[in-house]
Amino acid sequence: MESFLLHSLTMINKLLISSFIAGSSFLSLGQSCDKVLFSGRVIDSAQTQSFYNLMLVNRRTGQGVFGQPNGTFSIYVNNGDTVALSVKNYLLIKTIVVADSNCQYKHTYYLERKFSELPEVSVRPLKSLEQIKEERQELALRETRTVTGVDIFQSPITALYQTFSKKEQNKRWIAEQEYHDDQRRIVKELLRNYVAYDIIDLTEEQFDQFISFLNINEDFLKTATEMELITFIQDKYEHFKLTADLQTMDGFKWRSMLDSDKRAAIHELLTMYVTNKAFDLPSSEFDRFIGFMNLDQVFLVNASDSDVFNFVRAKYIEYIDFYHIDVRALKSGYTLTEADNEDWQWDLKHKNKKAATITLLRLYNTHKVIQLPEDEFDKFITFMNLKESFMLSATNDELIQFVREKYYNYLSFYKK
């Protein structure tokens, strides 16, 4: 009997321990982490190595950080993010972050060198980011001797000679060209590193075209941090890809319509941009936006696809800023029904026109027909001058069109 009781107690203890472990596991699995500290180290087991170019890139955000020369690293990410670890001359490592009970993910990675049989070629090694940074900071226009200030009065003949001499002018021109060449060379070195780290995806043949597209400011190139440069170049790269994609799609269709119908051609151009997600603009806004842009026929005929896109996108940003609205919230097909109009129609019948108009404007604000703060309703009602007879006779669509037209005129008038 005693052994039976002892055996029963042992079984109960085991069940309690198992239940406790299962409950702990359940709590651990159910834990939610706002941020996960991903840390660890990369190791080359074949030889001692300093990792000055270790970079971690979060595939979800596109943001990257540099590791330490000894191979250690730490970065805050979201649970489930994919992070790529890149070191020059080593195979890329991709890992999915899985948080532990302390909202951390620690791991050690053993690197494998890249080995491939290639024909013998002359290869220039990548410069380190530190070397490029030093070159960026030292970037300067080589001075050519020029007489200025008080020296002009002391040596007027020399000043005149330097101003008009072809030889001196050639010196200055050569110095300027060398300076621009240095700029392009440094940017190319940066791009080679960014391609190696999978930050952007360009071929060597595309570098010159992309550098011209970048049009990077020389002061920014000299003073920017690594992350500022990465962010800037990534943003420009996305635009560069987009313009390249647009040129390969329907770029010739709108151009073929220019001679016969300029407005239809621009409609087609905007449709192409919106379809390819260059920006977001409902078709109901096209006519107003075309008037805002005031595109010149000669410009459209002679400009490159890239120049047209850059112009239209700049005007699009001005358009949003000018009207102080979120254009992306505007729609061409509203879900307003006759039933939605019952409140303001009741006010019109039982109260007065102003009360009915205020109720109407609140309805239109809710459905994004307009975007107007209520403290401006009185001013807008006076500006709109909406007739009671029109309110009673107009269809749903006619009333929407009228109010929207007056709304944009109101914004334009008071903006000016």
pLDDT digits (tens, 9 = 90+) for 287-310: 888 988 998 888 888 887 777 887
Instruction: Give the rounded percent of residues in the chain with a pLDDT score beyond 70.
Output: 69
- The pLDDT score that the predictor gives to residue 280 is 74
User: Is the confidence at residue 150, as pLDDT, over 70?
Assistant: no
- Whether residue 188 is predicted with pLDDT greater than 90 in this model: the reply is no
| Whether the predicted model's global pTM rises above the 0.75 cut | no
| pLDDT tens digits along 43-89 | 887 766 666 567 788 877 766 777 887 788 888 999 988 888 887 77
Q: Strands of 36-43's sheet, edge to edge?
A: 72-77, 36-43, 104-110
| Lowest mean pLDDT, pick from 29-38, 150-159, 244-253, 355-364 | 150-159
Residue 354: per-residue pLDDT: 92
Which residues lie closer than 8 Å to 168 by C-beta, 6 or more apart?
Answer: 144, 161, 162
Answer for the pair 42, 85: CB distance below 8 angstroms, yes or no: yes
Residue 269, Cβ density class (10 Å: 0-12 exposed, 13-18 middle, ≥19 buried) = buried
Average pLDDT of the residues in 228-251: 69
Report the 10 Å Cβ neighbour count for 395. 9
Q: What is the rounded distance in angstroms from the CA atom of residue 183 to the CA atom of residue 69?
A: 28
Domain boundaries, the chain: 36-110, 129-245, 249-329, 338-415
- Taking each helix axis as running N to C, give the angle between helix 207-214 and helix 166-196, from 0 to 180 degrees, rounded to the nearest 10: 110
pLDDT of residue 149: 47
Task: Please tell me the predicted confidence (pLDDT) of residue 355.
Answer: 92
Mean pLDDT (the chain, rounded): 75
| Residue range 33-40: mean pLDDT, rounded | 90
What does DSSP say about strands 104-110 and 36-43: parallel, antiparallel, or unpaired? Answer: parallel
Which pLDDT band holds residue 358 (cuts at 50, 70, 90)?
very high
Mean pLDDT of 363-368: 86
- Please give the pLDDT value at position 247: 53
What is the mean predicted confidence (pLDDT) over 105-116?
80
Model confidence at 314: pLDDT above 70: yes
Helix H segments across 333-395? 342-350, 353-366, 377-384, 388-393
User: Could you tell me if 90 and 109 are in contact, meaning their C-beta atoms sit under 8 angstroms apart?
Assistant: no
Q: Please report where in the chains the tokens 């791991």 appear, as a residue.
A: 107
Residue 220: what pLDDT? 82
Please check the confidence at residue 383 and state whether its pLDDT lies above 60: yes
Choices 1.10.1200.10, 3.40.50.150, 2.40.110.10, 2.60.40.4130: CATH for 36-110: 2.60.40.4130
Give the whole-angstrom CA distance, residue 372 versus residue 405: 14
CA terminus-to-terminus distance, the chain: 99
Confidence of residue 129 (pLDDT cuts 50, 70, 90): low
Tell me what the mean pLDDT of segment 92-119 comes to: 81
In this prediction, residue 362 carries a pLDDT of 93
Instruction: Tell me the range of 116-130, 224-238, 379-393 where mean pLDDT is highest.
Output: 379-393
* Residue 415 half-sphere exposure toward CB, CA atoms < 13 A: 14
Between 90 and 334, the more confident residue is 90
Which has the minimum average pLDDT: 160-164, 182-186, 196-200, 334-338?
Answer: 160-164
Instruction: Name the range with the highest mean pLDDT among 214-218, 325-329, 332-336, 400-404.
Output: 400-404
